[in-house]
Amino acid sequence: MAKFTLETRDGTRSEIAGKDRATMMKLIRKSGVEELIAECGGSCTCATCQIYVDLPDGVAMPSMEPAEAIMLAKAANRELNSRLACQMKFDSSLDGMHVRIAPEDYSNS
């Protein structure tokens, strides 16, 4: 089964089983990690579920819809590898990726 490593804000790491087509938000929340705020519940109207994604060598970042790009453009703490966990879907090609939860951001909520 494909998995990814999740790093919380305090540096704690855990390995999480992925599920094809599930959003990263759902996978992270289902794993019991509550610090991923996701204030809008996954409707892409805030940036409180921002994550930083480090992919395995040779794996391309999944495409981003315009609404996600707009939200991230307004997000505090944005990095080149930022994504919204509510919009990024997991698939087996992402096996082995590393995901960090971004610092809290209430600027778009």
Domains, the chain, in order of start with CATH, read 3-101 (3.10.20.30)
Question: Is 93 buried (19+), middle (13-18) or exposed (0-12) by CB count in 10 A?
Answer: middle
What's residue 105's pLDDT? Answer: 72
What's residue 108's pLDDT? Answer: 54
- The residue behind tokens 């609404």 is 67
Facing residues of 7 across strands? 13, 100
What's residue 41's pLDDT? Answer: 93
The sheet with strand 50-54 has its strands ordered as 13-17, 3-7, 98-101, 50-54, 82-84
The helix (run of H) or strand (run of E) holding residue 24 is helix 24-30
- pLDDT by residue for the chain (109 residues), tens only, comes to 999 999 999 999 999 999 999 999 999 999 999 999 999 999 999 999 999 999 999 999 999 999 999 999 999 999 999 999 999 999 999 999 999 999 987 655 4
Q: What's the predicted TM-score (pTM) here?
A: 0.94
- The residue behind tokens 């991230």 is 72
What's residue 102's pLDDT? Answer: 97
Transcribe 25-84 into DSSP letters.
HHHHHHTT------TTSSSSS--TTEEEEEPPTTPPPPP--HHHHHHHHH-TT--TTEEE
